[in-house]
Amino acid sequence: MIPSKVIRRELIARNVAHLYLKPVKRFKEPLPGQFIMVWVPNHEEVPMSISDYSDSIIRITVKVRGPTTDYLVNELPVNSYLGIRGPLGRGITKDLIYGRGLFVVGGIGVAPILYMVRLYSELVRDSKLLAGFATNDESSVVNELVSYLDVSVVSEDLTNGGTVIDLLREELSVGMRYNYYIASGPKAVLDQIVKLIPDYVPGYLLAESLMKCGIGFCGSCALKDFLVCKDGALVDSTTYKHLIS
């Protein structure tokens, strides 16, 4: 466990914040899609995707889901310390990014895509992002991507709103015009994505499951014999379809 100083807390929506952490020891540069386990004193340890990494500063993007995340978003003092373990899991390597990509995300699942686009900015040019959020307020998290990608956003709280699956169906109605896709978000969203996109298109998903240990020991995150925290979170679409069948 590495003590890490909270050097900045940036509220970007009503229940969403970027936290910037500076580890006191050397931290291995992560790949997009990898995660860290974050120990919050007097609360619990929770898994968090890395939404950026630069100059030894880790950024995580947190949405309120319970008491621990509410504390992180709304109460955590700057200059306090958290404990971190990682980077953990399998991430997105540069060789997977080629041609024109389609990135499909649900909610805070956008976090690893933020890092991926910044790190591989020259490789993702001309690619497209489809993003769906519960509220329009939350959609501001993708603002940093508009200079890199063609971005389409939808939220469920607007009169003519919808979900990212609605956006995907609309996009596919004119044919699949992409070399590959990467998807991230809740399991229910990922399950629909792999069923909608044709099998001949190479795809990768950042699987979600209940993570507790982060190292494949406890088995709480298992999808069949696949341990999301250790064997994933990155998984190819063919394997993912088998895991949910």
* Domain's final residue, options 88, 116, 131: 88
CA 77 – CA 73 distance, rounded (Å): 10
Residue 84 CA: distances (Å) to CA of 4, 27, 29, 91, 133: 7, 10, 14, 18, 28
> Are both 109 and 195 inside the same structural domain?
yes
> Are both 223 and 144 inside the same structural domain?
no
The boundaries of the domain holding residue 228 are: 207-245
Strand partners for 4: 23, 82
> Are both 179 and 229 inside the same structural domain?
no
CATH at residue 125 = 3.40.50.80
Calculated CA dihedral for residues 120, 121, 126, 127, nearest 10 degrees:
50
> Are both 127 and 198 inside the same structural domain?
yes
Q: Return the pLDDT at 196.
A: 96
> Are both 120 and 135 inside the same structural domain?
yes
> Are both 162 and 190 inside the same structural domain?
yes
Q: Return the pLDDT at 110.
A: 96
Number of neighbouring beta carbons within 10 Å of residue 13: 17
> Are both 114 and 184 inside the same structural domain?
yes
**Per-residue DSSP letters for 99-141?**
SSEEEEEEGGGGHHHHHHHHHTTTTSTT-EEEEEESSTGGGGG
CA 88 – CA 16 distance, rounded (Å): 23
Q: Return the pLDDT at 219.
A: 81
> Are both 101 and 199 inside the same structural domain?
yes
Give the total number of structural domains in the chain. Answer: 3
CA 61 – CA 10 distance, rounded (Å): 9
> Are both 137 and 39 inside the same structural domain?
no
Cα-to-chain-centroid distance, residue 8: 20
Asked if 57 and 7 touch (Cβ cutoff 8 Å), the reply is yes
Per-position pLDDT tens, the chain of length 245: 999 999 999 999 989 999 999 999 999 999 999 999 999 999 999 999 999 999 999 999 999 999 999 999 999 999 999 999 999 999 999 999 999 999 999 999 999 999 999 999 999 988 999 999 999 999 999 999 999 999 999 998 876 778 999 999 999 998 888 999 999 999 999 999 999 999 999 999 998 887 778 877 888 888 888 888 888 899 999 999 999 88
Q: How many CA atoms lie within 13 A of 64 on its CB side?
A: 14
Question: What pTM, to 2 d.p., does this model score?
Answer: 0.94
Cα Rg, the chain, nearest whole Å = 17
* Domain's final residue, options 88, 123, 146: 88
> Are both 170 and 123 inside the same structural domain?
yes
